[in-house]
A = this chain, B = another copy of it.
Amino acid sequence: MIVAPPPAGPVPYAKDLSIAFLRDMVRIRRFEEKCAQAYGEGRIRGFLHLYIGEEAVAVGAMHALEPADNVVATYREHGHAIVRGLSMDRAMAEMYGKREGCSRGHGGSMHLFDAATRLFGGNAIVGGGLPLAVGLGLADRMQGIQRVTACFFGEGAMAEGAFHESLNLAALWKLPVLFLCENNLYAMGTALARSESQTDLCIKAASYNVPTLSVDGQDVVAVHEATLQGQRHVREGRGPFFVEYRTYRFRAHSMFDSELYRDKREVEAWKTRGPLHTFSARLKAEGKLTEEEFLALDKAAVAEVDRAVAFAEAGTLEPVEDLLKDVVASS
């Protein structure tokens, strides 16, 4: 099982930013490890899609965006939400189905919404976010707002008609939409080559006259640089941009996946490309990180997660009488 060599090379960022990236990756990892545990204990239910192994993508990409930008994500969005600025407390409370959750317990793991950070969900319809992102971009363009709409989706979504129609609309109308494809090689159990006649995703996107970049999604530096370039293009009003992040899902698709479709050795091989340990090793090599600093930020992340769990457990249940509240505006 051959995979590319682990990400390496100099990290072109000051110590603070470098450590901020590492910290956010660790925060996501610790958060999700706890989610998995809570799921095992029956405290979180429904579908739970872990991002473990892909953290460099959300971290490198989110840090390339402005606070005023729009973010549209998928059902595998814990990392995106947390790095975007949603508190772990409200994210965890949401998964616990509590009223203090970001979506008042209505959405759960797949539907983290946060108006404050302009996170438009957590969409569990594969490809469902793309047309919405096109519309958000159109709204900004028509209102003269200088803003980027970042739309995350998996490579599996590219087989959907929604992808085709959305890329064409965005390119035809030169809309400020940044299409960010997390290519983790599988859509549930379906490998890319079993779902796309053309496996070079940039060729697909380029066929709409959209500029593209493909980078190692395990390398937070490569992710960040590519996303910076993409968002600059979009922000300058030059139309949409497409970035492919080549990454890998270390865990099962969801909690109902016996992983019959892939070889354990493939997973192990990819783990040599883990975004956290490879990046921390680079930082250490450059003297930007000491073991003590690493342990400290890890400890802080664990503490933050524990507080979030405590917050979630202390949370309250929305009264059943309010079931129909917010279906439509109360008049």
Contacts and interface: CB of A to CB of B under 8 A. Distances in A.
A172 B195 contact: yes
Interface residues of A, number: 23
A252 to B, nearest CB: 25
Nearest to A199: B209
A94 to B, nearest CB: 31
Contacts of A164: 161, 163-165
Contact of A197 (B197, B204, B208): B208
A25 to B, nearest CB: 34
A56 B148 CA distance: 47
A196 B161 CA distance: 15
Contacts of A203: 207
A313 interface: no
A162 interface: yes
A195 B160 CA distance: 19
Contact of A196 (B163, B172, B210): B172
A258 interface: no
Most-contacted residue by chain B among A195, A206, A208 (CB, 10 A)? A208
A331 interface: no
Interface in A208-227: 208-210
Chain B CB within 10 A, most for which of A163, A164, A171, A196: A164
Contact of A207 (B165, B194, B207): B207
Contacts of A18: none
A165 B172 contact: no
Interface in A122-138: none
A206 B206 CA distance: 11
A197 to B, nearest CB: 3
A8 B163 CA distance: 41
Interface of A: 159-165, 167-168, 171-172, 194-198, 203-204, 206-210
